[in-house]
Amino acid sequence: MTKEEAKEKIAKLTQEINSHNYNYYVLDKPVISDYDFDMLLEELIKLEKEFPELLDKNSPSQRVGGEITKVFRQVKHKYLMLSLGNTYSFEELQEFDERVRKAIGNDFEYVCELKYDGLSIGLTYHNGVLASAVTRGDGEQGDDVTANVRTIKSIPLTLHGSDYPEDFEIRGEIIMPHKSFEKLNAEREDLGELPFANPRNAASGSLKMLDPKEVAKRELDCYLYYLLGENLHFNTHYESLRKAKEWGFKISGYMVRCSTIAEAYDYINTLEQERVKLDYDIDGVVIKVNSLHHQEMLGFTAKSPRWAIAYKFKAERLSTKLLSVVFQVGRTGAVTPVANLEPVQLAGTVVKRATLHNADQIEKLDLHDGDYVFVEKGGEIIPKIISVDDSKREGQRAGKIKYITHCPECGTELIRKEGEAIHYCPNENGCPPQIKGKLEHFISRKAMNIDSLGEGKIELLFDKGMVKSPADLYDLTFDKLIGLEKTYFLEEQQKERIVKFREKTVENILKGIENSRSVPFERVLFAIGIRYVGETLARKLAYHYGTIHALMNAGYDELINVEEVGSRIAESIVTYFSNERNVEFIQKLKDKGICFELDKDAMTANSAKVSDKLQGKSFVVSGVFTNFSRDRIKKMIEENGGKNVSAISSKTDFLLAGENMGPEKRKKATTLNVPIISEDDFLKLLE
């Protein structure tokens, strides 16, 4: 292929991939499969590697992979990034309407839009290409976060069409959808880290991360709502955003035009009810004068535009009585204070409990026994106590609530590391909730996958004194388990639950335990529960060191040089293996036949490992190939993290078909919907 042909092909692929990105991330209407999309992207990457001089920084292949930023550059806004005036009442909306009519007359209309609860961003485009992304900052200047914003797939790197201005800015809000927020917090809690309070904080924190690759994992989104520039040929704000949507920007479908402020208020009331159905947070509605000429006539104050106002929903806040404060101990020993409340209906659900986060929060609230407190839902998700309701205090307050000094479960004195907000119980091998938490983590799907032991069975085994360590699971027998039974009272549901070990239950448990002996080393390493070592890092450590013995003998200075291992993680690993009880625990698991080293195939693949591109993928290789022998292709699969299997099953990812492949294999692959790929397709996967 000549350079000109490659240039033409790259342009065509870029346009096609950008179109599919737009369909998927903006319109939510994908038209091709993920596999077909990946093949297009791989083809583009291959061409860009073959012709590196044709690589464009705005290529869809460059979404992720920017260099780590040491400090964000401050950038002065070309147009001041002002905030909006806020109101919570219809009366103030009417006053706003009267001021507008006094200035421009009665012949105008409003546009109502969602007020997103996220992080404001200004995107500048030059000749249809994203040039920069800057946060609001103080309104006059903000942080250049272009590298991080490029990872957000709903933001176009290059625009559709050709009728966009040469230079313009478009502003919007970067948000974290609820599903991304819940996933992120689940991962943080699993690592013993403090969860984010709400999606807004999570989005803001994510955008300020120094590594774009880490930002990409946070699955942020962006809605745009305001176009700025010198040569914009539009008469109305509504028209400008409709055109921006054609250029590829994500514009809300909730934008409506209203003839009067009363119509706008009706829309506000509708949205206040409907917002619970959205997959992201909004905290109000923005009302703007639609005509750009009228906007210019109205102008600005020193702080905000005179042609727009934000109606903010009142966060539903109710007063209820504080019944008690309990302190919960998690798997990692982190102690979380939780307030028990008189039940109250809040934002569509009954709230009985609210997190108090940590000792600093309790001190800040100045809580006393019997106080009435104001509760609201932070980010519409997590109930939280905002303040004490002083109006309901009667006479002298009862005793002040103080953060505990010793573990409520085992009595061990709590510790709080310098620079951290959380208190910990250090008695990890003797504290009941920590032990039960470690057991539940050990059997979880991504760890040892002993799913037959869920639904309260671990708690029963612990309460009966039969299991105090994951190693004890491998001593269980049919006779020990059959007939075990216990009744638990579920306080949240106000009902009893009976856990009973019948014959079929016991057989499934023992089968699950036996199967766990074949779980590979990287998942075992995740299962043993070293603080801050999540699923991905456990895999990296397993492939880096190969055996548990090598990892145990790695010092801090060595660990700190492993990819994704920071000082806190290195310190945690060293601390874990310096504890003699943890070393004994691992030896017991070894004695039970648990795998603590990569198998020979994985070691062989790892010794000459090229990439993880085929990680988790299984291949059946059949036939005669043009460029490589069958053995060489199988080795290439292993070098890139894949696995060779001999027979086709429903779990096979690909049938790699050469010349003269038997018809039965093709027929079986077709029947089981296993993708059949050629040698060229395979090479595209590796480029």
Strands 317-329 and 141-143: unpaired
3-state helix, strand, coil in the chain (%, to 5): 40, 20, 40
Which whole-number Å values give the CA distances from 579 to 373, 467, 528, in the listed order?
43, 21, 14
Find tokens 């040089």 and name the residue.
Answer: 561
Q: How many CB atoms lie within 10 A of CB 293?
A: 12
Q: Kind and range of the H or E element at 226?
A: strand 221-228
* Pair 543, 559: CB distance under 8 Å: no
And the tokens for 315?
């966060």
Task: Collapse the DSSP code of 507 into the 3-class scheme (helix H, G, I; strand E, B; otherwise coil) and give the result.
Answer: helix
* Pair 219, 177: CB distance under 8 Å: yes
And the tokens for 123?
């995107």
Q: How many CB atoms lie within 10 A of CB 609?
A: 14
Strands (E), 492-623: 495-500, 618-622
* Pair 232, 175: CB distance under 8 Å: no
Q: Kind and range of the H or E element at 206?
A: helix 199-207
C-alpha neighbours within 13 Å on the C-beta side of residue 619: 26
Strands (E), 251-381: 256-258, 282-289, 308-312, 317-329, 334-346, 349-355, 372-378
DSSP secondary structure letters along 379-411: TTTEEEEEEE-GGG--SS--PBP---SB-TTT-
Beta-carbon contacts of residue 236 (< 8 Å; ≥ 6 apart): 111, 290, 291, 292
Which whole-number Å values give the CA distances from 4 to 8, 55, 614, 687, in the listed order?
6, 13, 32, 21
And the tokens for 125?
């485009």
Question: What gap in Å lies between CA 321 and CA 517, rounded to an integer?
Answer: 51
CA-closest candidate to residue 464, choices 450, 492, 484, 449: 484
- 159-161-166-167 Cα dihedral, nearest 10 degrees: -30
Which residues does the annotation mark as catalytic? 115
Name the burial class of residue 1, with classes exposed (0-12), middle (13-18) and buried (19+) by CB atoms within 10 angstroms of its CB.
exposed
Question: What gap in Å lies between CA 546 and CA 525, rounded to an integer?
Answer: 11
